[in-house]
Structure 1
Amino acid sequence: MGGNPIKFEQVLPGFGKYDVMFVATTAPYFLVTNERISNAMKEKKGGMMILDLSNPRTVDEKVATIGGIKLMNLDQIAEMVEKNMNARLNKVKTVENIISEEVCVLEASMKRLDAEPLVKDVFKNIENLREKELQKALQMLDEKDEKKIKIIEELTKAVVESIVSTPMNNIRRASEQGKPDVLELASKLFDYKKQEQAD
């Protein structure tokens, strides 16, 4: 950001050249008055922003009523900065909340993986049992009709699914919620450890 310092007496005569004016003085009175800026603006085509960085203020607040002038003092600048900071903080909080939610989902998914070997093993064993009993039943019925065999097979699959899906989903949910005791009980119930060692 470039610029050349000039004396205050030179500012108003060349007012039309400036788009932004920073006022930072220790004067105990309004150095930039409404009258001065009104006269200077008569020869200026565009607008101007005046930033009063003085404390106490040295730009007359009436200057803000002049057409084309945007006046901001230290308090207004501080308020604007605070609003921007709050907006950014809110965005950060929103992002943090999203991350926190996703972390919870990820943690639940990771915990659910603990139950998958058991669930997979149970479904595998039940499917083997279903297939074995189905073949026995078909032999007893001496059924040869492919359509009827298909219907019976689909029926046995539906029955098995309806019986097993609920307890398996409950086991998965318990694992997601961090309840290893439920998983351990289910492993004993379905003799999972014994089969795991046998493999």
Structure 2
Amino acid sequence: MILLKADYKKYPTSKLEKLRMDEDEFYEKFDGCVLLQTCNRVEIYFDVDNLDEIDIDVDKFDILEGDEAVLHLLRLASGLESMIVGEDQILGQIKKSYLKAKELKKTTKFLDTIFLKAIHVGQRVRSETKINEGGVSIGSAAVELAEKIFGLKNKNVLLIGAGEIGTLVAKALKERHIKAIIKAIIIANRTYERAERLAKELSGIAIHFDKLKEALKYADIVISATGAPHQILTKEDLVDVGETIIIDIANPRDVDDSVRELPHIKLFTIDDLKLISEENLKKRKEEIPKVEKIIMEEFENLKRQIKKLEIQDFIKNFTTYIESIRRKEVEKAVNMLKNKNKSPEEILENFSKAFSKKIIYDFVNVIEERHLHGKDLFVEEVIKEICEKTKYSS
């Protein structure tokens, strides 16, 4: 197998975007492959033996082959190659990309085997280790902090900002099954349409920004993540809102620090969240040796599976080769019997000699040629070359 790989380690998102391909056009052109594209990577897995078989510009890709490519896929599915160690999203992306190629009949037995193994490894790693536990993005850390300090059950959550950071918070809320535990979620954004889109995704309520002060009175937890160049919440805005946790993850800050003077307000900033993120990331990294052990165990199992596939193909090809000779010689023998020029005994004798002679000839021819060029004389390799050269014909 050959893997063409480009990811966040080598390119910024803007350059990765230029490497992205139209899936339908790609699969119209190529067979025996899987295309995996995310915001952080473009990877193409080909079931081929050498680059000459790939009609594509490979200059901007790193090239991994054989075991190295397979191990990369297992590590990727386990979350070890992600920008955020242990993140879960990549496993779903791998599965989706594989199923797309499978649906289009573009995979091979080999690709089916390694991708199914990768998905299994990713699931096992997340089940048997803590590689994906604890929020390490600012958005997920904000939700985790609110959950630990105040709890989310039967609480009203107000999310201010529906941009990139706000969307990360929304994703973290969604992962905690907000329908089951959060009483209500309200999204406020200066562009109402964006708030509406995000609220729809979360089964929440979108409000216009001029209704923000009114919404604050109903909120138990406020997470503020706007891109505003100035502060949007002051001490005066929060005097009569009741007991509230405010988590300000905007940069620059959304909430005036004087808010801390209010006894019913608990204010946390991005600095508090960084400590949580760093601690969680440290815990995840401590799990890496366990993950790598699982990967190597499964890799050894995978190699045995692949060997069985190779043996199955080998037996199938050799059977076809033998059968092609047998059919041709049987045809000759039947024609001789029809002409009645020779006795059945003599015809059978000639048939058996011709049958064995053809097999011996092909074997000797390939063995002599391999010996002349200093190649190994393993039976498996010899038979494989015979099958390839004769194309199963006599």
Q: Which has the higher strand share?
A: 2
* Coarse TM-score class (shorter-chain normalised): 0.3 to 0.5
Q: Which one scores higher on RCO, CA 8 angstroms, separation ≥ 6? A: 1
**TM-score scaled by length of structure 2:** 0.21
